[in-house]
Structure 1
Amino acid sequence: MTTLYLFGSAAPPVFEVAEVIKAGQERGWGVCLGLTPTAARWLEADLSVLEELTGHPVRSEYKAPGEPDVWPKADVILFAPATFNTVNEWALGLTSKFVVGVVAEGIGKGIPTVAMPCVNAAYVQHRAFDRSVAELREMGVTVLYGEGGFVPNQPGERRPYPWDLALDAVETVVGARP
């Protein structure tokens, strides 16, 4: 069974994560859920349900040195939604958050990784964002941003998040593995 690490930042689509877990399981994947600390706080009331759904603890913090890992090894990682802050931290290698540390290390381990931002049109005017997306792509991350991926909305505007694009991309990168 393919093990998917599903990571999410604090953006509104993170509230849909239970349905995404189920969709991944329907595709035959085992799913482990990791969240930024703020996303974990947002979903605090649902964490036990999400743990039951995945069969694994939901993680948002690093484990202590020497503690055993509670998740199986990842075959693929999907980071969605990935906020402006998360994308920039990851591209810069700033790993104070557990999920950012895992994806940064995952690049070096050769774990196929898909990321789909969730940012508004005002944030993407900051030049750092395009540089960060380019940097992640140059490191081999499949970033679903722009045409064929996430297209930024106007501040305050809500549109459906294209989860199917993200799940299809995971399926593609898993299928493309040697």
Structure 2
Amino acid sequence: MTDRTLYIVVCGAPLASRVGDGVRQARDRGWSPYVIPTDAALPWLEDQDLGGAPVITGNRKLGESRRTPKADAVVVAPLTFNSLNAWANGNATTYPLTTLCAALGSRTPTVAVPFAKHDLAAHPAWLASLAVLRYAGVAVVDPHDGSAVSLEPITSGTGDAVTQAFEWDWALDRL
């Protein structure tokens, strides 16, 4: 039985196709995972076996009780350019972003796996947002090799190869 709650926030990029692997590996490590996808990530989840992990979408309705236990940790994988910048700027405009902003504010251990192509990662907001998140204590993991020191953008046309080579242990080991 697990007693540690892990939120897995998922944005819409190829790595989202491997969330089921993350759920299974998290469970193997004693976590109780909850999947929190952005709207753009939902199509990536459709045919995946998430092992019965709850998928939490949309904001709570008026009078609705909390849908998840308090998180002991958060992994956001993949983290897209748009979500990274919104999160770093405190834009809690969707349930996944609210979840990420609250985790940052409560100092919940958080690991991010950014996944953006060169043209987006070359935008000045990318480095500024990464700096804000790192300063706030977020562990950033390179999806190519698990490095916590460097982060390489995704070369156009290689997203599927990077996705297949990704090891969930890289993110889970940082919790």
Determine if the TM-score, normalized by the shorter chain, exceeds 0.5: yes
The superposition leaves residues 41-94 of structure 1 with CA deviations (integer Å, 9 ceiling, x where unpaired) of 332354xx53x522x3x1121112321112111100111110011100101111
Q: 8 Å contact 1:20–1:163 — kept in the other structure?
A: yes
Residues of 1 paired with 2:72 and 2:171: CA distance?
Answer: 16
Write the letter of the residue equivalent to 2:9.
F
Q: 8 Å contact 1:122–1:154 — kept in the other structure?
A: no
Residues of 1 paired with 2:23 and 2:109: CA distance?
Answer: 18
1:6-155 aligned at under 5 Å gives the runs 6-46=8-48, 49-50=49-50, 53-54=52-53, 56=54, 58-145=55-142, 148-149=147-148, 150-155=151-156
Give the Å deviation of 1:108.
Answer: 1.5
TM-score between both structures, scaled by the size of structure 2: 0.86
Runs of 4+ deviating beyond 4 Å: none
Query: Residue 147 of structure 2: SS of its match in structure 1?
Result: coil
Write the letter of the residue equivalent to 1:5.
Y
Structure 1 regions of 5+ residues with no counterpart? 171-178
Residues of 1 paired with 2:72 and 2:23: CA distance?
Answer: 16
Distance 1:65 1:110, change over 3 A: farther
| Residue aligning to 2:157 | 156
Residues of 1 paired with 2:33 and 2:61: CA distance?
Answer: 22
TM-score between both structures, scaled by the size of structure 1: 0.85
Q: Note the aligned Cα RMSD (angstroms).
A: 1.9
Structure 2 regions of 5+ residues with no counterpart? none
